[in-house]
């Protein structure tokens, strides 16, 4: 099961089906596309600033490795590690960019694939919401009034001295 996030424009009211046309669903997982294509994946998803930063990081790493005259196997390992980092953080950067452009996270769901996640999002978004009632506070959960301030993790042990 994977985790998906739903991004809608600010001010979207639950139950309005017209808002779902602008919905974006982002999977919270490793991005194989960003791992393989690095900056091109970001440009494809219209993440211009992140794409430029990733492109600069890849070029900077290659320049640094060539200036330091690193062994080719070590240089390849460093490039693979950078690609792994990009693949791990790509969808987080996509969510951050969507929130910055006015489409914050509205809902989170666990689903087997994107189609299942979309069906769950639509069912939740279009379902009428019931008013939420808060339970009354239990008298057992109220804190005891103490005359002395509590110092440390074991206040009873301090009193026994």
Domain count across the chain: 1
**Whole-angstrom distance, CA of residue 7 vs CA of residue 105:** 5
Q: What is the pTM of this model?
A: 0.72
Q: Is residue 107 part of a domain?
A: yes
Distance of alpha carbon 78 from its chain centroid, rounded? Answer: 25
Q: Is residue 84 part of a domain?
A: yes
Q: Is residue 161 part of a domain?
A: no
Q: Is residue 39 part of a domain?
A: yes
Q: Is residue 38 part of a domain?
A: yes
For residues 6 and 106, the answer to whether their CB atoms sit within 8 Å is yes
Own/partner long-range contacts of 120-124 (Cβ < 8 Å, ≥24 apart):
121/4, 121/6, 121/23, 121/25, 122/20
Q: Is residue 77 part of a domain?
A: yes
Distance of alpha carbon 136 from its chain centroid, rounded? Answer: 34
pLDDT in tens, 29-87: 999 999 999 999 999 999 999 999 999 999 999 999 999 999 999 999 999 999 999 99
Higher pLDDT, 127 or 137: 127
Q: Is residue 146 part of a domain?
A: no
Give me the domain span that covers residue 23: 2-127
The pLDDT score that the predictor gives to residue 34 is: 96
Higher pLDDT, 74 or 17: 74
The pLDDT score that the predictor gives to residue 159 is: 54
Q: Residue 144: CB partners within 8 Å, gap ≥ 6?
A: none
The pLDDT score that the predictor gives to residue 1 is: 87
């Amino acid at each position: 099961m994977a985790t998906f996030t739903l991004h809608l424009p600010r001010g979207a009211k639950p139950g309005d089906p017209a808002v779902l046309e602008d919905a974006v669903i982002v999977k919270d997982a490793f991005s194989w596309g960003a791992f393989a294509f690095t900056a091109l994946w970001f440009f494809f998803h219209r993440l211009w600033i992140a794409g430029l930063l990733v492109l600069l990081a890849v070029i900077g790493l290659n320049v640094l490795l060539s200036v330091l005259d690193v062994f080719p196997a070590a240089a390849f390992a460093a490039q693979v590690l950078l690609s792994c980092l990009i693949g791990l953080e790509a969808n987080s950067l996509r969510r951050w960019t969507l929130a910055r452009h006015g489409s914050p996270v509205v809902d989170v769901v666990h689903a087997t694939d994107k189609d299942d996640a979309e069906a769950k999002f639509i069912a939740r978004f279009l379902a009428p919401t019931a008013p939420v009632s808060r339970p009354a506070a239990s008298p057992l959960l109220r804190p005891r009034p103490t005359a002395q301030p509590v110092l440390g993790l074991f206040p009873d042990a301090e009193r026994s001295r």
